[in-house]
Structure 1
């Protein structure tokens, strides 16, 4: 197995506070699977902190490195979102988001001060949540007669696959995530089960 078979992420949310010259920076780190999930959480934090001056954030999702976003939310360009993303990337995390809520304390911190504050708050929030390695999974859809359910589920469990979705009609439609490292083995075993149709999603 290579490093490419796994990704590193967080599985539980955490919160840390950083203070500088009266300003409070509350950093919320949490796992995130897609952009819509992130937007929902951001809205919740805005409701939780309606009087905050800024809600700056960064997230990275997926394996290809192209799905990320940063926002300075009114702070000087590059002083908030980028330093937050820098902390996610320095730990080689993905499917991870951090929102830093700032309450202005009356003193201007300047761009170097802001970069340091957002970076420190983000780093502190990541120190409070454990990192986990997860297998990169390839999504497949399996179709089979419901009488074969036990055989299929036993194989799914043996191979460490994740069940993503399940529909029962006259036959069962099962969406699973197959660990990349075991894909060939899993497809070989499924091939032996002539009553299962498997296709990549």
Structure 2
């Protein structure tokens, strides 16, 4: 090649390159197109040999007495929400209401997306009652003062932060006043009947 004229050397190099195309990156990419994510819905294709698809499990964190989502997933091949494991503290439960039902103060809450073994209810910072992991409501008796009522999720790794509401026993006092008024009215009526009966006997 050293004995050839310089223009002829350039021509040879160009010709050789024409026969050896550079490798391209066609079909190889480190990221997926954005449209692949735009089409995502509640159905996820199974990677099992049998194919098929997974649906979200019929699991409501606020519904009481449910089968654990892990059991539903095993039996129905459905997908559970992203629950944390037993070696992590539970998330905070969602306390929905604290109300008087006529005989007890009743709490209603929703489960966190965590593994839970039980729930603790505190009244005024003191533990009042414990409930099973499948319960989403519970009665804690009477509360006669305005106080903070909280629910805490528990598992083997520890306790969650508290979810709290202030309870004001105005409905309780109204009902108590009604019961006392009814009892006093009944006693007055009974006393009037006794007096009338005694007067009628004295006349006779």
The TM-score bracket by the shorter chain reads under 0.3
Q: Which has the higher contact order (CA 8 A, sep 6+)?
A: 1
Q: TM-score, normalised by structure 2?
A: 0.26
* Bigger helix fraction: 1
* Bigger strand fraction: 1
Q: TM-score, normalised by structure 1?
A: 0.27
